[in-house]
Chain A
Amino acid sequence: MARRVLVAWLVAGLTLGFAVAGLPKVKIVFSDWHLVEPHWEKALKEAIAQFMTENPDIEVELEYVSYAEKETKYMTAIEAGVGPDVMHLGPIEVSFALFASRGYFLDLTPFIKAEGPDFLSPWYPATIAAVTYNGRIYAMPGDFMSMFLMYNKRLFAEAGLDPEKPPTTWEEFLEYAKQLTRDRDGDGRIDTWGFGTVGKVDPGFQLRFTPLLYSFGADYLTPDYKCSALNTPSAKEAFKFWVELYTVHKVIPPGVTDMSPGKVREQFAAEKVAMILTSGWGPPIVKSIRPDVNWDEILGFAPVPVKAGLDPEYRTTAWLSYWAINRNTKHPDAAWKLVKFITSKAMEEKWFRDANVLSSRRDVTEVYEPILASPSARINAAELSRAKMVPLIPEWPRIIEAVNIAVQKGFLGVDPDLALSEAHALINEILAGYRVPGEACPGY
């Protein structure tokens, strides 16, 4: 009798306790640079609210950070033993290898294994390979978008070109660009050019130069990542072609060495250039810079041109972001739940609707109807199968800086072969750690 009363009191007490205090809440911090952009902020907050409703025992706190400073902030925080639990990072080549090689990210392989054998099948294999380091998976892929050519149909028509027939080879591209570089307002000076591209030292440089390199059949490094491959004839040809667009043919507006991706888009929006290389973010930005223009009728999209006669397996590259969990996290299970939620099919479809980004899930990008209905998204998605990521090694930021500066020097008048040979030598030096002493790389 006494024991039953005791049990009854216990049950009553516990129920009262839970009712008052609620379920024990686990708090995790979620950080994403997108939170500073209004449309993304709204979408993310909606998603997080939904997540918290589905998981009442988890509370998610939002942390803001700017795009340019996020790696700095995360790195110093993780080194100091703190930092947000879930982080969104990108582009992948700038940070992933560096962070993973230093053990900053939590190993997700056990979580993935626990989800079952087919958990990873919806994703593009290239993206899963990209988030793998030393055989373990350290992040989940996020937004995946390929680079393609965007051109101004109106300028094409004005220059006498067929707006529905964009260039398919680089030779055609040059011819078109020459025709598009002309004096548009009749004051005797050229005020519109054929092509606009990034010359500044910027992560966006890589996204525009890499398609060129690949579509000429060249590559940055040898397959074993021990040497630079910029001494191959196709690499030399691609580099020379790119530099001469500015120095010899003058189809790129002056001042290219200071052009950031944002400025190139501004040029395009002001109709100062007729063609640019961009991805899914291009059309919405151009529309927001000049909302008074009817862009839907003017914008044309095409795959990146290739060298005449070649049909390389890969002709473009892609922008890939990823979601990672901090190694210092105190609640790995809750963090994993959030990551799984954000990269779920329903959420990935939401990111396209709200922010116009394509997913690294094939069951979204290849299938989702709004994606198939939008012309830019369709090309974007189609090119993903022809996209190859750059070498995702910790030395990559150094390597691409060397190439970027070589291109700058070329633009500024240095002989292209000389500039490229400098980059080649510097990259070989950077990769010295991968070779055994005595193993030398071929010269230029």
Chain B
Amino acid sequence: MFRVRPVLAIKKEKGADAGKQGVSPLNSYRRFFGSTTGLWGAKQGYFFILPCFLLLLLVLGFPTIMAVLNSFAPIWTTGLKNFTLNYYRRLLQDYIFWNTVLKTIYFVGGTVTLHLILGFCVAFVLNKEIRARRFFRVMAILPWTVPDVIAGLIWAWMYDPISGIVNDFLHRVGLVRSTIEWLATPTLVMPSVIIADTWRGYPFVMLVLLAGMQAIPKELYEAARVDGATWWQELCYITLPNLKRMIFIASILDIIWQTRRFGLIWVMTEGGPARATEVISVLAYKTYFKFFDFEYASAMSVAMAVFLFVIGLPYIRMMARRV
């Protein structure tokens, strides 16, 4: 009978080992070289993360600080003299901004969910021993190789009511009689954009999950098979628990990236019709590059970043809990 209990590849450390004072050679070695805590541990830790943060600070530091300051004052023209919270005040009362918040939640919720579901299913299948695995793996990654503006152009064309293949196909097989205006109808446009973005984006999640699945040792599955487990039980008690971490990582990263998603939506609808697909990144782009309202666009983007940070907090805590 198969054990109905999660089988993890890694033993969860209770932290007891770290401070053990035994006479075994391993522990004495640890005390000298292998310590991962205390001052020596900290020094090594900082050493490894240094290049990363140095690069981030040098390259992103200045732009980020300036961008945040710009949401309080027009720093590029008059410096910090006119420091004000007015842009945020305006944001709170702006019904256009709150509409974008709703649309962003709709878009991000829809795409991330579909990315995860589709990505997981495909990764699960590709993880198995199937024939022509290489062919299917290459097929699975295909959409990701197209830049998102070009993917947007292609999908917009496919959705075209009279010269697009989606409607043409539906007509030919007789499923619909009249033309469906995918991108002109407010109720249909967001699902259409979500499908287009799912096409473009799910290979990324699939790849992350596949990489995570590959890390689960085969012995666990073999042992389970010997014990008589079904594929469903394998999924629930081996795959998913071991993949939990990767799923969380993939989903928080996908949420962040989808909130920033701009090119595809802009090229397909520019936020229309009548603001139906106006997500926050589209409004920020318009405000910055079309209306030249730099301060307001900065305030908008900073507000969005704060939203995301609040959502991301539990994930950061979960990530930090390891070790």
Residues of A bordering B, CB below 8 Å = 71-72, 75, 79, 94, 98, 102, 189, 199-202, 254-259, 263, 266-267, 270, 272, 394, 397-398, 401, 405, 408-409, 412
Contacts and interface: CB of A to CB of B under 8 A. Distances in A.
B105 to A, nearest CB: 21
A416 to B, nearest CB: 14
Contacts of A255: 161, 179, 181, 183-184
Interface of B: 76, 160-163, 178-179, 181, 183-184, 186, 269-275, 286, 289-292
| Interface of B: prevailing SS | loop
12 contacts: A79-B76, A98-B291, A102-B292, A200-B270, A201-B271, A254-B161, A254-B184, A255-B183, A255-B184, A257-B181, A405-B275, A412-B274
8 pairs of A and B residues whose beta carbons are closest in the complex: A257-B273, A258-B184, A255-B181, A255-B184, A408-B274, A257-B184, A258-B183, A255-B161
Given A72-B289, A255-B161, A257-B184, A405 B274 contact: yes
A398 B163 contact: no
Nearest to A97: B292
B274 A257 contact: yes
A71 B273 contact: no
B273 A199 contact: yes
A409 B274 contact: yes
A75 B183 contact: no
Nearest to B293: A398
B62 to A, nearest CB: 13
Contacts of A72: 289
A398 B273 contact: no
B77 to A, nearest CB: 8
Given A256-B184, A397-B291, A201 B179 contact: no
Contacts of A405: 272, 274-275
A398 B289 CA distance: 12
Nearest to B161: A255
A133 B85 CA distance: 31
A257 B272 contact: yes
A408 B273 contact: yes
Contacts of B286: 401
A272 B162 contact: yes
Given A256-B184, A258-B181, A258-B184, A75 B292 contact: yes
A201 B184 contact: no
B273 A258 contact: yes
Nearest to A256: B184
Nearest to A189: B178
Contacts of A409: 274
A394 B292 contact: yes
Nearest to B160: A263
Given A98-B292, A398-B291, A412 B186 contact: yes
Contacts of B273: 199-201, 257-258, 408, 412
A397 B179 contact: no
Contacts of B184: 199, 254-259
Given A258-B181, A266-B163, A75 B289 contact: yes
A398 B184 CA distance: 22
A135 B290 CA distance: 24
Contacts of B272: 200-201, 257-258, 405, 408
A143 B270 CA distance: 27
B69 to A, nearest CB: 15
A207 B234 CA distance: 63
A420 B35 CA distance: 71
A275 to B, nearest CB: 18
Contacts of B183: 255, 258
B275 to A, nearest CB: 6
A420 to B, nearest CB: 14
A75 B76 CA distance: 13
Nearest to A410: B274
Contacts of B292: 75, 98, 102, 394
Contacts of A272: 162
Contacts of A412: 186, 273-274
Nearest to A394: B292
A254 B289 contact: no
Most chain B CB atoms below 10 A, which of A79, A254, A272: A254
Nearest to B76: A79
A257 B76 CA distance: 38
A408 B286 CA distance: 18
Contacts of A266: 163
Contacts of B76: 79
A201 B289 contact: no
Q: Among the interface residues B160, B162, B275, which one has the most CB atoms of the partner chain A within 10 A?
A: B162
A254 B162 CA distance: 10
A394 B291 CA distance: 8
Nearest to A272: B162
B179 A254 contact: yes
Nearest to A98: B292
A263 B164 CA distance: 12
A164 to B, nearest CB: 30
Nearest to A102: B292
A255 B269 CA distance: 13
Contacts of A200: 270, 272-273
B181 A254 contact: yes
A424 B15 CA distance: 66
A404 to B, nearest CB: 9
A71 B179 CA distance: 36
Nearest to B268: A258
A321 B183 CA distance: 31
A266 B197 CA distance: 26
A394 B271 CA distance: 22
A384 B289 CA distance: 31
A33 B178 CA distance: 39
A259 B156 CA distance: 12
A7 to B, nearest CB: 55
Contacts of A75: 289, 292
Contacts of B270: 200-202
Contacts of B291: 98, 397-398
Given A94-B290, A255-B184, A405-B275, 12 more contacts: A71-B289, A79-B76, A98-B292, A102-B292, A189-B178, A199-B273, A200-B272, A256-B184, A263-B160, A272-B162, A409-B274, A412-B186
A270 B160 CA distance: 14
A360 to B, nearest CB: 25
A328 B161 CA distance: 47
A267 B163 CA distance: 10
Instruction: Choose among B184, B275, B289 the residue with the greatest number of A CB atoms under 10 Å from its CB.
Output: B184
> Which of A202, A272, A405, A409 counts the most chain B CB atoms within 10 A?
A405
